[in-house]
């Protein structure tokens, strides 16, 4: 199944936990939001087009844990870790140097990352 064209970000609905923390978004595919695309905090689609309630449960179940994962920019280079995430952008640093508290160059990626420039690094 092909994904529909991406809806404007201002139409995405935030999915929040009981504590008010946003864990992802629902991107509308239909005007009534009956069909949506579940998205994580980075803006990546995390499932196919589905029913609103199914998508909401999927996003809630995923939570924020993937933000602690290591990422590759455009599929290459050093493993990166997310240090800031806001509508102004996604900021990352070299994951291993950041652990050592060593100064490192910050990498900026536009939010949402609908182009999927950030890809999860393979597990070691």
Chain-centroid distance of CA 23 in Å reads 9
Q: Distance between CA 27 and CA 112 in Å, rounded?
A: 12
* Residues ≥6 apart with Cβ < 8 Å to 32: none
pLDDT in tens, the chain (124 residues): 466 789 999 999 999 999 999 999 999 999 999 999 999 999 999 999 999 999 999 999 999 999 999 999 999 999 999 999 999 999 999 998 877 777 789 999 999 999 999 999 998 6
Q: How far is CA 29 from CA 12, 13, 36, in A?
A: 10, 12, 5
């Amino acid at each position: 199944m092909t994904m529909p064209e991406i809806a404007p970000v201002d139409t995405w609905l935030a999915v929040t936990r009981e504590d008010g923390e946003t864990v992802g978004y629902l991107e509308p595919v239909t005007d009534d939001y009956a069909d949506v695309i579940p998205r994580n905090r980075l803006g990546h689609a995390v499932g196919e087009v589905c029913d609103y309630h199914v998508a909401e449960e999927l996003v809630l179940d995923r939570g924020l844990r993937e933000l602690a994962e290591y990422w590759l920019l455009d599929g290459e280079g050093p493993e990166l870790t997310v240090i800031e995430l806001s509508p102004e952008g996604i900021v990352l640093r070299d994951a291993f140097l950041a652990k050592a508290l060593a100064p490192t160059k910050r990498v900026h990626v536009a939010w949402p990352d609908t182009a999927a420039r950030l890809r999860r690094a393979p597990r070691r």
